[in-house]
Each structure stands twice: as structure tokens, then as C-alpha cells.
Amino acid sequence: QLQLQESGPGLVKPSETLSLTCTVSGGSVSRSRYYWGWIRQAPGKGLEWIGTIYYIGRTYYNSSLKSRVTISVDTSNNQFSLKLSSVTAADTAVYFCARYSSASGGLSYFDYWGQGTLVTVSS
């Protein structure tokens, strides 16, 4: 059974960089057909897609965050990571990592999710 687990600091100071890692177990981040993504949810709000990466390093970012976000993959440790720079209180959210199963004909979706981790931006 595939499992994803987010890890990283729960508290980040304004203007600093938020860094999270998603460790994948029960499957490989290097398998073709699967992408790996980050989604966040501010307290009491809806879901926001942050970005997605393919194991060869191809990345896709939300344009609203593009200048501040970097997603990378570490195939040797079966992990992928999120870095969000110059954070403000508006970046306070639960951050989820997830696997995106890709297939032709629109038959693609996020099928496995981490439990989510709350990151608070505060001094």
C-alpha cells in the first residue's frame, strides 16, 4: 500500500523559506505514469494546487506562486520536496503531498495523499 508522509517545520518566520519533504513508501517516485504534487489548504478555506513534478524533474507550478515555489525530487531517497520562499501569514496552511496517476483520455487524478502538515507563518 502506497503511503506518503509530509515532514518539516511547523513554524516558519515571515520572509523566510518554507521547506517540506514528502517521503513515499510502498512505491517508487521513479515509476512512469505517476506525478507528485503539493496542495495546500488555508485554515477554513478551500484547496489550492501548488505544483507537480515528474520524476525526471519536469515541474509545473501554480502561476500565482511560481516566482516563490520550487519542487524537486530525490529518487535515491524516494522523496520529493517543496520550497516556498518569502513566506507571509497568507502562506499559513495545511500542506498536502499527493500522487497523481496519469492516464490518457482525461483519466488522471490524485489517488494517494499524505495526511497533511500544518505550517504556520509567524514571528
User: What's the rounded Cα separation, in Å, for the pair 72 and 38?
Assistant: 11
User: What's the rounded Cα separation, in Å, for the pair 69 and 102?
Assistant: 23
Which residue, 14 or 111, has its beta carbon nearer to other proteins? 111
Question: 64, 81, 84, 121: which one contacts other proteins (CB under 8 A)?
Answer: 64
The contact pattern for other proteins, residues 90-119, with x = CB under 8 A and - = no contact, is ------x-x-x----xxxxxxx-xxxx---
The answer to whether the CB of 100 falls within 8 A of the CB of 45 is no
Cell 520562499 belongs to residue? 85
β pairing state of 117-121 and 11-12? parallel
Question: 63, 88, 122, 123: which one contacts other proteins (CB under 8 A)?
Answer: 63
Q: Quote the least distance from Cβ 50 to other proteins, whole Å.
A: 9
Cell 518539516 belongs to residue? 8
Q: Quote the least distance from Cβ 59 to other proteins, whole Å.
A: 10
The residues that touch other proteins, with contacts defined as CB under 8 A, are 39, 46-49, 52, 60-64, 96, 98, 100, 105-111, 113-116
